[in-house]
A and B are shown apart, each in its own frame.
Chain A
């Protein structure tokens, strides 16, 4: 008698489920061949764009005068000691705000790939090792790094005071140009940051697909390319979304994904392990008096960040947006194509990932077709026409004419 009773109970449950299912609209995911759990994960990667909040550690964040000053400084090679290297030399707008090189070249060779500044305002830590805890403190580092622009606070102070356009914009943003080297440097960093916060990418094909899933628009969801759709499913199934999480496709933290960290000359790149030491020792960090946030909230991360032995060889999880414009890839630019990047995860060298590496990682063992699908998905995360923002012209006149107070 037990079997019929069980059958009856199961039957009732099945009937109820089917009945309730009829009442609910068919999930869009089912229509495009995705499980509901995958749809939920994909919807969590939006909406895009997200509003970027003002940086509370930078009092001039979001102010027109500082943005204008930063815009001008960004393209000004006179910031460098030899007058030949601007921020835009490596962060080239027409190249996705990076330089297309494997590793950056300033006054001399640099060990790491130039990261894009597209959507940089959304980041928590800055540079591949997170050696800076604010965009403004990161912005002043290349100016004084002897490998990059090789200048100094004195150099920046003199430049800003001696140039009518820069001095005018500085006066509107901060007051009269400072002769104090550290202050001049910090002001330059804060103005550069205010400008870079405005460099935001627009919507990508994925965003239309994601929004269609979110609002249950089957017709719009069906317009997403089939290969990208298969890649999206693989992306979630392979747990890529665990680190590349949220609308910006990054958790903003650091992981060892098996990319070698040996450098030329027998040196090693300690990645986050060194980054934590550097941010703690940085005299311009958020624990310093240069932080404009008086609530203490912005500095919580700096106060509590910790390096462990596992931090060695970790590098920041990059955003996956706009990858089509930002080749080559990884912290040392070792991969020229997205296909190579996906193959890296397909064939992960578990011997290389030391015992403290990210345990989530396993070789994906993808077929060639699956690699193509993942690449198609990644390419669909790219804004086809990101902003280029050419250098401003007639800065003196513009500063004099325009009301640049917020």
Chain B
């Protein structure tokens, strides 16, 4: 086995044996039954699990984002869901509406990606007077 192969195996072993230690927020943040997250974002003591409805985002079709927000300290609140195309320096032509469903769950409706390419989906969370923005990339063809 070459050196490169050994390194790969060593890396895999490290991931399996020692996953990153979850914080308090992460430990609290378990998706409820029937909520299969598309992604998990964590920053500044806040965790956002999200899924898109429908699961596959289709170019030019509206979709919704359901999010579960957890965090350390006071109950965190999701205040904004938005998306931009960083390379094009523009956002969506639609402003999502955001509704709390209780127990840290939120539903953002009215999103639409109107151009193919990389979109950055962002979540603004207020937690104990501090705002944290969590973001992830979504590629749409």
Which residues of A does B touch, CB under 8 Å?
A: 5, 9, 44, 124, 241-243, 245-246, 251-254, 300-301, 303-306, 310-311, 356, 358-360
Contacts and interface: CB of A to CB of B under 8 A. Distances in A.
B48 to A, nearest CB: 21
Given A252-B60, A301-B94, A304-B97, A359 B115 contact: no
Nearest to A8: B2
B123 to A, nearest CB: 17
A301 B111 CA distance: 9
A251 B110 contact: no
Given A254-B93, A306-B93, A360 B88 contact: yes
B33 to A, nearest CB: 26
B interface SS class:
loop
Interface residues of B, number: 23
A304 B90 contact: no
Contacts of A360: 87-88
B117 interface: yes
Given A301-B112, A310-B90, 15 more contacts: A9-B4, A241-B116, A243-B115, A245-B59, A246-B59, A246-B60, A251-B115, A253-B115, A300-B110, A304-B97, A305-B95, A306-B95, A311-B93, A356-B90, A360-B88
A242 B115 contact: yes
Best-buried of B2, B89, B115 by chain A (most CB within 10 Å): B115
Interface in B87-141: 87-90, 92-97, 109-110, 112, 114-117, 141
Given A251-B115, A253-B114, A304 B95 contact: yes
Nearest to B91: A308
Interface in B54-83: 59-60, 62
17 contacts: A124-B60, A242-B116, A243-B115, A246-B59, A246-B60, A251-B59, A251-B60, A253-B60, A253-B114, A253-B115, A301-B112, A304-B95, A306-B93, A358-B90, A359-B87, A359-B88, A360-B88
